[in-house]
Amino acid sequence: MVLECRTYLSDLTMWNSEVHDPKTNNIQCSQCTLEPSKRLRLSNKVAIITGATSGIGRATAIRFVEEGARVIITGRRRELGVQVESLLNGGRDGRRCCTYVHADHTKVEDCQKVVEIALKQFGGTIDILFNNAGIVTSGTAETTTEEVWNATFNINVTATWRMSQICIPHMRRQPGGGVIVNNGSDWSVVAGKNALAYVMSKGAVGMLTKQMALDYARDGIRINAVCPGDTFVDRWIERGDFTSRSDESAIRSASDFIPMGRFATPEEIANTVLFLASHESSYITGHLLVVDGGHTAN
C-alpha cells in the first residue's frame, strides 16, 4: 500500500490553519490520519536525477522512490539505466514510478528532452532536480589539457546550470515552487592537489548554488548543494583501484586521511540529498552541506 500525504509535504508558503499547528509546529493534514513519522517524505513528488545509473545517483533514486517520489533518471550507460528503471518499477503496487532517459547532459537537446519527458510522464510538474551528473579529472596547471578542462566544466558546471535553467520556469509556475540540489564536493570549499579542473569546477558549482538561491528564494525555489567527500562507488572497482567493496586493507590505507577512518557510502550521500529535497530542510537555501567524515575539519 502506498502511503501518500501531499499536503504534509507542501512548502511553508502553502501552509494554512487547517494544516499547520503553530503551538506544536507540527503539520496536520485533514485528509490524512497517518502519524507524521509514517508519512512518506516525498509522496507524489516528481524528481529528475541526472547521472543515476550508478553510485550516488542510483542510491538517491532508490531512496526517493522509497519515500514516495516518481523519478526520471538519466545517464549515458543505457544498460545500467534500464536495470535501475526495472528495479524501481518492481514494487509500489505495480505503479510506474521510474523512467530512464538516455542522455548526455553536455548536449542542450538532451537536457530539453529529459525535462519534456518528465513533464509528460508524470503530470506536468517538476518538484525536485538533483544535478548529479559529473566527472572526476586529474592534472596540475601544467598537465591539464584544454580538452580535459572543457570536458570537466561542460558536465560539472554547464550541465548543472543548463538543467536548472530549463527546470526553474516550471518550478516558478507551479504551487509550492521546487527544490534543486547540486552535487558539489568537499573540494567545493577547500582545494586539493593534482585536480585543477575538477577543483575549479566544483568551486564553481558551489558559487552557482549560492547565486541561484538568492535569485529564486522569493519564488519558493530552494537551491542547495551536497558536498561529498570520498565516496566508495563501484567505478573505483571498475577501473581497478580496489578489487571489491571488501578490499579492506586498500580501503583502510586510502582513507587514513579521513578523521572517521573510512569512505562514505553512496547511501549516506543519498540520505543527505533526501534531507535537502524534503520538507525537513524547508528553511535551508544557498547552503553547501559537506558530508566528508570530518575531512575538511582538519
CB 293 within 8 Å of CB 260:
yes
C-alpha cell at 185: 564536493
Cα distances (angstroms) measured from residue 66 to each of 80, 90, 106, 215 = 20, 12, 30, 32
Counting other chains too, the contacts that 148-156 makes at CB distance below 8 Å and 24 or more residues apart are 148/197, 149/196, 149/197, 152/197, 152/198, 152/200, 152/201, 153/197, 153/200, 153/201, 153/204, 154/106, 155/105, 155/106, 156/198, 156/201, 156/202, 156/204, 156/205
As annotated, the active-site residues are 198
Alpha helices in 43-107 (DSSP H): 55-66, 78-88
